A and B are shown apart, each in its own frame.
Chain A
Amino acid sequence: MSKHIIELVDLVKEYDGTEALKGINLYIRQNEFITLLGPSGCGKTTTLRLIGGFETPTSGKVLFEGVDITNVPPHKRKVNTVFQKYALFPHMNVFENIAFGLRIKKLEEKVIKEKVSRMLEMVNLEGFEKRSVNSLSGGQQQRVAIARALVNEPEVLLLDEPLGALDLKLRKEMQLELKKMQKQLGITFIYVTHDQEEALTMSDTIVVMQKGTIQQIGTPEDIYNEPKNAFVADFIGESNIIDGVMLRDFRVRFAGHEFDCVDKGFGTNEDVDVVVRPEDIKLISGDDSLLQGVVRSVIFKGVHYEMQVEDTNGYTWIVHSTSMAPVDARVGLSIQPSDIQIMKKVPMK
C-alpha cells in the first residue's frame, strides 16, 4: 500500500510564458484512488496529461516506480487514460474499440476475444460487441471508454473528468461503480474532477489544487473537516469565511465578538481567516446568544433549509438547518468552539 508508484518532482509547465503548474511535488501510492480537485484552470488536467505523457514539463520530473519517464512517449507508458469526452474511435464498433490496445500488442485473436468479453461483462455491456459507438448513450460510451483502457491491465488508470457529461443520477451510479472496480482490480486510479462531492465520495486521497499549486493533500475527512486555508474551505462545500483576529491560544475575535476555539499556535493578535460550515451553526432564540441577526432569505433545499442571516455587523451568514425561521425573523446564531476553524491568511490572488 505504501509503495510510491508515481512521483512528481518540482513539475513546472508553462504555456506561452504563463505558468500552468508552479512546481508540483506529489507522490501517489500504489492501489490508491487519488483525486486531483480544483476549479477549471487550476492545473489538474495538465498534471494528468504530464503523467499520461501528452505534454512534456517545462522543468521537473515524472517518476514511475522510481524510473524517470519524463521524456517517454505515451505509447510506451504503463498507464492508460479515460478521456473527458471518451474519445472512442467512431469508425470502429464496440468490440474493436476495446480490442484496440490488444491488437497493437498483437495478441492472439482468441485471447483478445476472451479479454474483451470479460471487460464487457465487467462494465455490463454484454451483447454490445457489434454496436457502433455512435449508437450508444453517454453512459454506455463511458463504459466502453473505461473498458478500452482497463483491458490493457494498466498499473495506473488516469481519468479526466470522465463523468462530466452524464446526468446527476447516472453520475452517482458510475461513481460507486468506478470505486468498486478500483477495489476489485487493485490498481491505482488518478482521477481529475472539479466536483467536490465526487471527490469526497470516491477518493482515498484528495489533492486540492488552485492556480497551478497544491493547496492541500489529505483524506476526504481531513480536507472537509480540517481545511488548511480559506480557499480549500470555500471550495470543499459551502463555508462562511470571515476575517478574524487570534487574540491568544484558544481565543479568537470575529464578527464583533470573542469566541472560544480549539486552535492554537498563532501569533498574538494575528489576522486570520475564520471558517464556519453552514451546518455547524445552530439557530437559537435571539436574546441569549452572542451573535444575533435577521433572516434575509430562506431556500428549501430538500434535506435542509438554506438561510441567509445578516448579523448586526452586516456580515451575512449562510446557515443550513432542518428547522426553518421565516424571513425577517430575529434569530440568534450559536457556534460550538470545535466548529470554529482558524486559518492562516493566504493571498487569494
Chain B
Amino acid sequence: MKKGWISYPYIIWMIIFIVVPLVLVLYYSVTSTTDGHMVFTLEHFAKALQPTYLKVLGRSVLLALISTVVCLIIGYPVAMILSGRDLSKKSTLVMLFVIPMWMNFLLRTYAWMTLLDRKGVINSILGVFGLPQINILYTDSAVILGMVYNFLPFMVLPIFSVMSKIDRSLIEAAEDLGSNSLTVFLKVIFPLSLPGVVSGITMVFMPAVTTFIISKLLGGNQYTLIGNLIEDQFMRVYDWNFGSALSIIMMLIILISMAVMSKYDKEDTGGVLF
C-alpha cells in the first residue's frame, strides 16, 4: 500500500499506549513475585472468582443493566421527539441536553452530591413546603441516578441519528397501506431504529459497568463496584497482580456483551421482527 507511512505515527502511538499496557496488564495478571522471582500462576483469577468478589461483580453488572434500561426508557422518546419535525420543541430539548454537557463530568457529579445531600438543595426546598425529606445519597438509587444522568446522551445520540435517517416516505407508505400511528411505530419506526438502540445500549452499558467515580462520589466510600475494586488494587492495596486479573475479567465481560449485541444487531436488520 502506498503512503502507508502516513499511518506510522499512529501505529507507534497505538503500540506504546494501547498494546504495551494491555500486554503488561495480561502479564501482571498471570504472574506473581515470590522472593524476587516471577512465576506463572492463575491464583489471582482464582481469587477474583471468590464469592466476595463475584458479588461485587454481580452488583456492578446489575446496576449497569438497570441504568441502561432507565436510559433507554427516557432516551428513546427523547430521540424520537428530537428526530421529529417540530422545530420549536426540538431546539429547547437540544439546549436542555447540551448545556449540562458543557460542564465537566466530575463537576456534574459533585453537583448531584450537593443536590442530594441530607441538608442539600433538594431537601431544603422540600423543607420549606413541609414535604417529606429524601435521603438517597450513598445508596444504589443515587448511583443509578448519577449513571443515568451522565450516560443518557450516549443512549439518545445513536438512536437519534438512526431515527433521523429513516426515510419519511417509509412512514407515509405504511400510512398509505392502512397503518394508524401506533402500527406505523410498531411495524416501521421501532424495527428500523433497533440498530441505534443496540449501539445506545452498548455505549451506556460499557461505561456504566466500569465506572468508579460515580459510585465513589454518590455511593460513598464503603460502596464498591468492580471499578472501585480495581482502582483500590492499584491505588491503595498495591496488589497490581490481582488488579490486573480483575481488569482482564472486566474486559472479557465487555467483549462478550459487545459480541452479543452485534449479533442482535445483524439479526434484526436482516430478518423480520413481527
Check A105–B178 contact: CB distance below 8 A.
Answer: yes
Q: Which of B174, B192, B269, B273 interacts with A100 by CB under 8 Å?
A: B174
Structural contact, B270 and A75, CB atoms closer than 8 A: no
**What does the 1/0 interface line of A127-162 toward B look like (CB < 8 Å)?**
000001000000000000000110010000000000
In the complex, are the beta carbons of B269 and A83 less than 8 A apart? no
CB of A104 within 8 A of CB of B179, answer yes
Complex CA gap A2/B188 in Å reads 39
- In the complex, A90→B178 CA distance in Å? 18
Tell me how far the C-beta of B64 lies from the nearest C-beta in chain A, rounded to whole angstroms: 29
The answer to whether residues A74 and B172 also contact, given A91-B192, A104-B178, A152-B178 and a CB cut-off of 8 A, is: yes
**Nearest Cβ in chain B — how far from A82, in angstroms?**
9
Q: Tell me the residues in window 239-268 of chain B with beta carbons closer than 8 Å to chain A beta carbons.
A: 268
- The bracket for how many chain B residues form the interface is 20 to 34
Is B191 a contact partner of A84 (Cβ separation < 8 A)?
Answer: no
Q: Does A80 reach chain B (CB closer than 8 Å)?
A: yes
Residues of A within 8 Å of B173, CB to CB, are: 81, 83, 87-89, 148
Please determine whether B176 and A104 come into contact, CB atoms closer than 8 angstroms.
no
- Residues of B contacting A101 with CB < 8 Å? 177-178
Number of A-B residue pairs having CB atoms within 8 Å of each other in the complex: 69
Is A273 located at the chain interface by the 8 A CB criterion? no
CB closest residue in chain B, given A104: B178
B169 touches A84 (CB 8 A): yes
Q: Closest B residue to A93 by CB, please name it.
A: B272
> Which residues between 89 and 110 of chain A lie within 8 Å of chain B, taking CB atoms?
89-93, 96, 100-101, 104-105
Q: State the Cβ distance, A147 to closest chain B Cβ, in Å.
A: 12
Q: Which residues of A contact B269 (CB under 8 A)?
A: 90-91
Q: B187: CB under 8 A from chain A? A: yes
CA distance A321 to B172 in the complex (A): 48
Kindly list chain B residues whose C-beta atoms are within 8 Å of the C-beta of A152: 177-178
Judged by a CB distance under 8 angstroms, whether A220 is at the interface is no
Instruction: Select B177's contact among A53, A54, A148, beta carbons within 8 Å.
Output: A148
Residues of B173-215 whose CB lies within 8 A of A: 173-180, 183, 187-188, 191-192
Q: Does A38 contact B (CB under 8 A)?
A: no
A29: chain B residues at CB < 8 Å are none
- Expressed in whole angstroms, the minimum distance between the Cβ of B139 and any Cβ of chain A is 42
Determine which of B172, B187, B268 lies in contact with A87 in the assembled complex, contact meaning CB atoms within 8 Å. Answer: B172
A75 touching B175 by the CB < 8 A rule?
A: yes
Nearest CB in chain B to that of A76: its residue: B178
Instruction: Looking at the assembled complex, report how far the CB atom of B167 sits from the nearest CB atom of chain A, in whole angstroms.
Output: 7
Known A74-B176, A100-B187; judge A89-B169 contact (CB<8 A). no
Instruction: Tell me, yes or no, whether A73 is within 8 Å of chain B by CB.
Output: yes
Closest to B167 in A: A87
Q: Counting CB contacts under 8 A, is A332 at the interface?
A: no
Q: Which residues of A contact B183 (CB under 8 A)?
A: 104
Contact A83 B172 (CB under 8 A): yes
Q: For the complex, give the distance between the alpha carbons of A187 and B272 in Å.
A: 32
Q: Once the chains bind, are A80 and B176 in contact (CB under 8 Å)?
A: yes
Tell me if B169 and A104 are in contact (CB < 8 A). Answer: no
Assess the B180–A132 pair: CB atoms within 8 A. Answer: no
Asked if B179 contacts A75 (CB within 8 A), the reply is yes
Q: Is A85 an interface residue (CB 8 A)?
A: yes
The answer to whether B169 and A85 touch across the interface, beta carbons within 8 angstroms, is yes
When the two chains form their complex, are residues B192 and A90 in contact, meaning their CB atoms are under 8 A apart? yes
> How many angstroms from the CA of A81 to the CA of B171 in the assembled complex?
12
A83 and chain B: residue at smallest CB distance: B169
Measured in the bound complex, the distance between the Cα atoms of B172 and A251 in whole Å is 55
**B19: Cβ under 8 A from any A Cβ:** no
The answer to whether B175 touches A87, judged by C-beta atoms less than 8 angstroms apart, is: no
Say yes or no for A52: interface residue by CB 8 A criterion.
yes
Chain B 209-243, CB-CB to A under 8 Å as 1, else 0, gives 00000000000000000000000000000000000
Whether B170 is near chain A, meaning CB under 8 Å from some CB there, is: yes
**Residues of chain B lying within 8 A (CB to CB) of residue A132:** 270
Chain A 179-217, CB-CB to B under 8 Å as 1, else 0, gives: 000000000000000000000000000000000000000
- Of the candidates B174, B175, B177, B268, the one whose C-beta lies within 8 Å of that of A73 is B175
Least Cβ–Cβ distance between B144 and chain A, in angstroms: 33
A54: B residues at CB distance < 8 A = 172, 175-176
| Residues of B with C-beta under 8 A to A93 | 272
CA distance A11 to B211 in the complex (A): 61
Chain A residue nearest in CB terms to B194:
A91
Q: In whole angstroms, how far apart are the Cα atoms of A87 and B170 in the complex?
A: 5
Bound: A100/B192 CA distance, A? 15
Interface centre among B173, B183, B269, B271 (most CB of A within 10 A): B173
Residue in A closest to B184 when the chains form the complex, CB atoms: A75
CB–CB B169/A87 < 8 A: yes
For A96, list chain B residues within 8 Å (CB): 272
Q: Which residue of B lies closest to A73 (CB)?
A: B175
The answer to whether B177 touches A104, judged by C-beta atoms less than 8 angstroms apart, is yes
In the bound assembly, the distance between CA atoms of A53 and B172 in angstroms comes to 10
- In the complex the two chains form, what is the Cα distance from A185 to B188 in whole Å? 29
Min Cβ gap A158→B in Å is 8
- One digit per residue, 1 when the CB lies within 8 angstroms of any chain B CB and 0 when it does not, for chain A 325-339 equals 000000000000000
Interface string of B100-120 (1 = CB under 8 A from A): 000000000000000000000
- The 5 listed contacts between A and B (C-beta, < 8 Å) are A75-B178, A87-B169, A90-B269, A91-B269, A105-B178
Q: A-B pairs with the 5 shortest C-beta distances?
A: A101-B177, A87-B169, A87-B173, A74-B175, A104-B178
In the complex, besides A75-B180, A100-B174, A152-B177, 5 extra interface pairs with C-beta distance below 8 angstroms are A75-B176, A80-B177, A81-B176, A85-B169, A105-B178
Chain B positions near chain A (C-beta within 8 angstroms): 167, 169-170, 172-180, 183, 187-188, 191-192, 268-273
